[in-house]
Chain A
Amino acid sequence: MTQQTNTNRLSRRSYVKAAGLIGTVGLGGIAGCSGDSNGGDGTTTSGGDGTTTTTSDGGSGAPLEVLHGWTGGDGAKAADALQSAFEEAHPDVNFEFNPIGGGGNQNLDAVVANRLQSNDPPSSFANWPGKNLLRYEGVLGNVDDVWSEAGFEDSHIQEAVDLHQQNGAYRAVPLGSHRLNCLFYNKAVVEEAGVDVDSLDSPSALISAMDQVASSTDKTPMTHAMSGTWTTTQLWAAVMLGENGYDSYMNFIEGNGSEDEVRAAFERTAEILENYISDDAASLDLTQSNQNIINGNAAFIHQGNWAAGAYRNAENFAYDEDWGFKTFPGTENMYTLHFDSFLYPANNPTPEKTKTFMKFVGSAEAQIAFNQYKGSIPTRTDVDMSQFGPYLQETAEDFADAEYRPPTLQHGLAVTSQKMTQLNEVISGEFTGPYNVDAATTGFLDAVSN
């Protein structure tokens, strides 16, 4: 008995010891292996695929992994439509279309940044082209062949051609475009106030219209979401365009802005924010702010035309009957340009499949599937717009006919992400009430000039 327990104990001890040793060695092994295999995978696949681009990787091998940030409402629906359209057109490609939600692309950017940094890029990811590409300088591959084979240069506007290049090569393909210089309004409220919206042709005319709303109704003249700073930066850019015109705006984003003109735009914006927005603006986000238009609590809102998606989904809220659209006063001949694009990372895990995908993204088929749900318009100028609603049809006409297409300041096209952060830092510090026009002017000019 004693002996038995003794042997048992010994064997249990040696068993524990052995298990522990195996565990330790295993752990060390895992640590070593994972380190090795990471490096190994990274280099071999990238090297292999990079050099042997002729071998088709369709059908088998790594799946086509595309990251995007369209998780809510319209965006999710549009992403689903794009995915099923692609899967229908290319049933042989193993397609993973992964949404990364939250915070206006912030989480998507963070995930993409981590993966690019650890040399584990996705096949493609949604982002903005233009100056925003500088953020990814050095890690984007070349898709010149996609543009030339699919003939995108002829089917797209010149701004799209320019903004999707970096260092002389195409880095991305556009999917759709939102418009930024939009003023939406609740028809019942402006009629109650007796405002003729179509006659507004300058920011000061807008201000007197809002004055009229304030004096003759109990509604908020303009609803503005200030829980983030991006809405204010965006509003300032619209006022800047409306107040000073296209050239002044372009000079500003190139770093040669006129101080007087920047100040004038800030003074106008401050006049709006000090007098005509709701008291609870600071705790409103875009959805809540937009709800004020739908509920008839506010007359105007300035937003990109993604705001119109919420009107379409609201019940009994029809275009031209309940809500209306006006190009932001003073910007009548312009279309403030925004692009949703797919970027092509270098060291691509699936170069052939990704290029197939990108050719598809630029096609009329994909752009119709996606944009009609997203509330944006195709970036091609040869698309049949009959499947879109009347509002987007008008937008597409404006897009094709606009005299100027200034790039959006807040959404990546006009300035680098670094400068954009800096601009928002200035708005946050100087222009969220109290509104310090002098400091904001200096801050903006400093931010874009260096």
Chain B
Amino acid sequence: MLAIYRWLRKGLIAMANTEDASDDVRTDGGTTTAPAGGDSNGAISRLSDAFDRRFGSDFVESSPFWLPPFLLMALAVYGAISWNLLISLTDYQGFAQAIDYSNLDFEMYSKALADPGFMDAAANTLVLLLAFTGSTLLVGLLLAILVDRGIRFENTFRTVYLLPMSLSFVVTAQFWLWMYNYNNGAANLVLGYLNLGPFHWIGNQDIVLWAVIFALMWQFSGYAMVVYLAGLRAIPNEHYEAAKVDGASTFKMYWRVIIPQLKGATISAAVVLMVFALKAFDFLYSLVSGYRPPNGSDILATKMVREAYQNLNWAYGSAIAIVLFLMALGVIGPYLYHQYKRDNL
């Protein structure tokens, strides 16, 4: 917030300055600015340099390009988030009374902490986030390595694995609902040949969350594969050859040489997958065509919608939304920081 404020203020000053000097010869944007402060370390000085660079003489000229989208984003995203935060501090519920902003407190958050339903949903959301992301990355990596070994029909396999990603949650949820049917679903049939099961995939509250995670993993491992494949293609052949010359086994070559170089791919895929995990609402909604997922698979997103629209607890729903937002921020924040450190932002 402070940064935005400073930034706006600087912008206004800059605007005033250019208006004063409107008769002066305008410097052509971009060429006058020196490639500032590469030596000066420290986030703050770099930040101020960046501001100088950005709010130099071309601030006003460039504003037609960034200001409209900036205002739109500010209103629709950041404005909505702030308003939501404000509502979560009130006691707003039902239709009868208007929102009372005069009495702000954290009551809704303490209510959430005391609500076992919320804690379950939060725990499930966290499990879903970690297990889904981890397993999807692992499966994606294995697929990518297999596809990268120069197999026949490589393009076909790539398409086959990526295809589930292009399907909507509504479709995949219905698929898996049928496949998880106790009596005639594919999951129990296949396990039946191995003399395992049958399992109550949806009905057993200890299993259902893992069943959901597996279904989501099926859908998104193709995406992880594509990201890893791009990472693998960027690794020069010499690295493979050098490892072989040094006598490394195939496993050791990947473990010691190749996979460590896929860190960037892992991070970017993981962030996208985690955000998808937080959006599993669609999948659960389609699974039961309602806001209440099977017992044991309730997540914060479904809980939030139930509180807001079934119980009309607007403030409580907003508080859950803020918690969800903070979780998303907890995922995105470190990633942005990491990118910033690498000068990618």
Contact = CB atoms under 8 A, between A and B. Distances in A.
A20 B289 contact: no
A16 B68 CA distance: 13
Interface in A349-389: none
Contacts of A283: 177-178, 180-182, 185, 201-203
Given A138-B95, A417-B310, A432-B205, A17 B75 contact: no
B196 to A, nearest CB: 16
B159 to A, nearest CB: 30
A135 interface: yes
A233 B305 CA distance: 21
B33 interface: no
Contacts of A21: 64
A139 B289 contact: no
A424 B292 contact: yes
Given A228-B292, A421-B306, A432-B203, A280 B72 contact: no
B203 A226 contact: yes
A285 B289 contact: yes
A106 B308 CA distance: 12
B72 A418 contact: no
A393 B256 CA distance: 78
Contacts of B285: 103
B290 A103 contact: yes
A279 interface: yes
A138 B306 CA distance: 21
A429 interface: yes
Interface string A136-155: 11110000000000000000
A71 interface: no
Given A27-B71, A227-B288, A428-B295, A110 B309 contact: yes
Contact of B67 (A24, A278, A279, A418): A24
A280 B187 CA distance: 13
Given A24-B64, A417-B310, A106 B291 contact: yes
Interface in B93-151: 94-97, 117
A227 B176 CA distance: 13
Contacts of B177: 227, 283
Interface string A246-278: 000000000000000000000000000000001
A101 to B, nearest CB: 10
A433 B203 contact: yes
A102 B286 CA distance: 10
A137 B312 CA distance: 12
B183 interface: yes
A113 interface: yes
Nearest to B94: A137
B69 to A, nearest CB: 9
Contact of B310 (A117, A138, A421): A421
Nearest to A346: B95
Contact of B64 (A19, A28, A110, A425): A19
A46 interface: no
B96 A106 contact: no
Given A280-B182, A283-B185, A113 B203 contact: no
Contact of A432 (B96, B117, B290, B294): B294
Contacts of A59: none
A327 B292 CA distance: 30
Contacts of B71: 24, 27-28, 31
Interface residues of B, number: 47
Contacts of A281: 203
A31 B75 contact: yes
Helix, strand, loop or mixed for chain A's interface?
helix
A229 interface: yes
Contacts of A104: 289-290
A201 interface: no
Majority-rule SS of B interface residues: loop
B158 interface: no
A289 to B, nearest CB: 12
Interface residues of A, number: 44
B54 interface: no
A408 B45 CA distance: 68
B63 interface: yes
A138 B64 contact: no
Contacts of A418: 311-312
B290 A139 contact: no
A281 B67 CA distance: 55
A172 to B, nearest CB: 15
Nearest to A138: B96
Interface string B166-193: 0000000000011011111100000000
A227 B202 contact: yes
Nearest to B176: A283
Contacts of A138: 94-97
Given A31-B75, A282-B202, A429-B295, A20 B63 contact: yes
Nearest to B307: A421
Contact of B311 (A227, A421, A432, A433): A421
B251 interface: no
A61 interface: no
Nearest to B120: A429
B3 to A, nearest CB: 22
Interface in A213-235: 226-229
Interface in A412-449: 417-418, 421, 424-425, 428-429, 432-433
Given A136-B95, A282-B182, A283-B202, A106 B310 contact: yes
B293 to A, nearest CB: 9
Contacts of A137: 94-96
A211 interface: no
B183 A106 contact: no
Contacts of B181: 280, 283
A366 to B, nearest CB: 28
A280 B314 CA distance: 36
Of A24, A106, A138, A228, chain B has the most CB atoms within 10 Å of the CB of: A106
Contacts of B290: 103-104, 106, 228
Contacts of A282: 182, 200, 202-203, 294
Interface in A107-136: 109-110, 113, 116-117, 135-136
Given A27-B68, A27-B72, A106-B310, A116 B95 contact: yes
Q: Give the top 8 A-B pairs by smallest Cβ distance, nearest first.
A: A20-B64, A282-B203, A138-B96, A280-B182, A139-B95, A110-B309, A280-B183, A282-B202
Interface of A: 16-17, 19-21, 23-24, 27-28, 31, 102-104, 106, 109-110, 113, 116-117, 135-139, 226-229, 278-283, 285, 417-418, 421, 424-425, 428-429, 432-433
Interface of B: 61, 63-65, 67-68, 71-72, 75, 94-97, 117, 177-178, 180-185, 198, 200-205, 285, 287-292, 294-295, 298, 305-306, 308-312, 314
Given A282-B203, A283-B177, 19 more contacts: A16-B64, A20-B67, A20-B68, A27-B71, A31-B75, A103-B290, A113-B308, A117-B95, A137-B96, A138-B97, A139-B96, A279-B183, A279-B200, A282-B202, A283-B202, A285-B288, A429-B295, A432-B294, A433-B204
